[in-house]
Amino acid sequence: MSLERLGSSLYEALRKVFRAPVVDEETVKQLARDIQRALLLADVNVKLVLEISKRIEDRA
C-alpha cells in the first residue's frame, strides 16, 4: 500500500467519526478497526497496530 493510500484510508476513518451524530463506544471501536485495517494493509507490524488500537480505545 502506498503512503498516499494509507493517508486516504486514515482520513476516511476519521471522517466517519467527524460525521457521526454521537461519538459513542461503538463509533470508537469502528474507528479502531478502520485504522487497524489501514495499517495492516500498509504492512505495519501487527504488535504495533494492536498497541495503537488499544490506546485509541483506552483514551476514548
CATH numbers and ranges of domains, the chain = 3-59 (1.20.120.140)
Dist. CA 46–CA 7, nearest whole Å: 18
Asked whether residue 25 carries a pLDDT value surpassing 80, the answer given is yes
pLDDT digits (tens, 9 = 90+) for 26-56: 999 999 999 999 999 999 999 999 999 999 9
Dist. CA 33–CA 56, nearest whole Å: 10
Lowest mean pLDDT among 2-6, 9-13, 24-28: 2-6
The pLDDT score that the predictor gives to residue 60 is 84
Dist. CA 56–CA 6, nearest whole Å: 18
Maximum average pLDDT range among 3-7, 44-48, 55-59: 44-48
